[in-house]
């Protein structure tokens, strides 16, 4: 029997759509972080960064804290069958561990790893495969998808209770937009586990300066430079500068990598010519960190149905429980969809 894996590809990841996003990004000098995971070389390079710097990979206490959250979901599983949606799953290691824990409790689990990156979503599928007989990877740009409920309904073999995971994606995706699509997708009693990079309590700038070392290092910069190299821009054409920006409206901060051009560059990408002048800069990457208060505000707006984007609102998501690592750098939120 063939070991080939069927995969769904959403139109948001068709080449013409991706090319348009790339053109828009280069015109506005803003690279969406999703472009850093797309190729096999980028996925391999990000894996090295993740293994070296992600607290969930490095730190036993952080691993334990994820285990607690996985177990908190179990009592809420009402049916013997359920579906796990791994949104922005990356390598899918966290979802695979959750599946391992839940499999003795559930009779049947279907698993839908969802990510924009083809190599990563395949890895996530393979990591979860031992615990789920019905699993299907979905390649989808979560920031450009209005029809997530239809996508999931079409790709699902069964209609059953759902658990959605959002691990490591809030640093890069708009939380209001992603929670709004989740609310449209989930039904009463469905559950969500979501990780958030936090601003530790105390002097935020000082604490963030210390966290910046997880980002401003040669391994991460090499990973980010792969995107430019694919466009034909040599690393020597400029230099990377990391800065910390405050996003006051969201009570958040952003760690941003800027590529400063030290010489003039002209390139062809997605059918268009782009010129970068000496001294110009391109936003190469960003990662949001929320204060616990900022995140609580976002969640309470959802509870009250008071977001700017009312379309697609389904069952409200209510906070069941939350955990914070001892360092205060990472939070996990367990939400449940209510009627």
The footprint of ligand SAM (CB under 6 A) covers 33-34, 37, 88-90, 94, 115-117, 120, 141-143, 167-169, 172-173
Indicate the residue among 182 and 265 with the shorter CB distance to ligand SAM. 182
Indicate the residue among 115 and 190 with the shorter CB distance to ligand SAM. 115
C-alpha separations of 36 from 58, 83, 116 in Å: 22, 28, 10
Residue 167 CB, nearest approach to ligand SAM (Å):
3
Residue 147 CB, nearest approach to ligand SAM (Å):
14
**268-272, Cβ contacts within 8 angstroms, sequence gap of 24 or more:** 268/232, 269/22, 269/23, 269/26, 269/231, 270/19, 270/20, 270/22, 270/23, 271/19, 271/23, 272/23, 272/26
Which of 330, 262, 252 has its CA nearest to residue 286? Answer: 252
Burial class (CB within 10 angstroms; exposed 0-12, middle 13-18, buried 19+) of 72: middle
Indicate the residue among 179 and 276 with the shorter CB distance to ligand SAM. 179
Residue 134 CB, nearest approach to ligand SAM (Å):
21
Residue 143 CB, nearest approach to ligand SAM (Å):
4
Separation of first and last alpha carbons in the chain? 44
Residue count (the chain)? 339
Residues 111, 135: contact at Cβ < 8 Å? yes
Indicate the residue among 97 and 260 with the shorter CB distance to ligand SAM. 97
How crowded is the C-beta side of 307, counted as CA atoms within 13 Å?
26
β-bridge partners, 138: 8, 114
Indicate the residue among 143 and 181 with the shorter CB distance to ligand SAM. 143
Indicate the residue among 62 and 117 with the shorter CB distance to ligand SAM. 117
Please, what's the b/e burial string for 216-246 (b: 16 or more CB within 10 A of its CB; e: otherwise)?
Answer: beeebbebbbbbbeebebeeebbebebebee
Indicate the residue among 223 and 276 with the shorter CB distance to ligand SAM. 223
CB-closest chain residue to ligand SAM: 90
Residue 85 CB, nearest approach to ligand SAM (Å):
12
Transcribe 307-333 into DSSP letters: -S--TT--SPEEEEEEEE-TTSSEEEE
Residue 256 CB, nearest approach to ligand SAM (Å):
15
Q: Please, what is the Cα angle at 105 between 101 and 109, to 5 degrees?
A: 80
Residue 263 CB, nearest approach to ligand SAM (Å):
30
Indicate the residue among 173 and 228 with the shorter CB distance to ligand SAM. 173
Residue 94 CB, nearest approach to ligand SAM (Å):
5
């Amino acid at each position: 029997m063939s070991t080939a894996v069927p995969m769904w590809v959403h139109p948001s990841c068709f080449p013409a759509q991706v090319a348009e996003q790339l053109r828009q990004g280069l015109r506005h000098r803003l690279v969406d972080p999703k472009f850093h995971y797309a190729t096999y070389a980028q996925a391999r390079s990000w894996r090295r960064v993740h293994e070296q710097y992600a607290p969930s990979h490095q730190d036993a206490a952080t691993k334990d804290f994820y285990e607690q959250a996985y177990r908190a979901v179990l009592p809420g599983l009402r049916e013997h069958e359920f579906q796990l949606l791994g949104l922005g799953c990356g390598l899918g290691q966290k979802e695979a561990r959750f599946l391992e824990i839940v499999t003795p409790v559930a009779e049947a689990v279907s698993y839908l790893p969802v990510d924009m990156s083809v190599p990563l979503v395949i890895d996530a599928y393979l990591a979860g495969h031992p615990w789920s007989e019905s699993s299907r990877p979905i390649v989808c740009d979560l920031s450009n998808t209005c029809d997530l409920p239809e996508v999931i309904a079409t790709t699902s073999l069964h209609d059953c209770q759902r658990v959605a995971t959002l691990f490591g994606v809030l640093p890069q995706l708009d939380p209001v937009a992603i929670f709004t699509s989740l609310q449209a997708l989930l039904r009463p009693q469905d559950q969500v586990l979501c990780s958030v990079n936090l601003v530790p309590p105390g002097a935020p700038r000082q604490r963030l300066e210390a966290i910046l070392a997880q980002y401003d290092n040669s391994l991460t910069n090499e990973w980010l430079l792969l995107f430019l190299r694919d466009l034909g821009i040599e690393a020597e054409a400029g230099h990377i500068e990391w800065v910390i920006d405050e996003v006051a409206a969201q009570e958040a901060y952003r760690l941003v990598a800027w590529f400063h051009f030290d010489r003039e560059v002209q390139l062809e990408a997605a059918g268009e010519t782009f010129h970068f002048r000496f001294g110009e800069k391109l936003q190469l990457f960003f990662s949001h960190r929320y204060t616990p208060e900022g995140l609580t505000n976002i969640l309470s707006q959802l509870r009250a149905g008071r977001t700017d984007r009312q379309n697609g609102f389904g069952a409200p998501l209510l906070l069941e429980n939350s955990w914070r690592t001892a360092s205060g750098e990472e939070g996990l939120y367990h939400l449940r969809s209510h009627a």
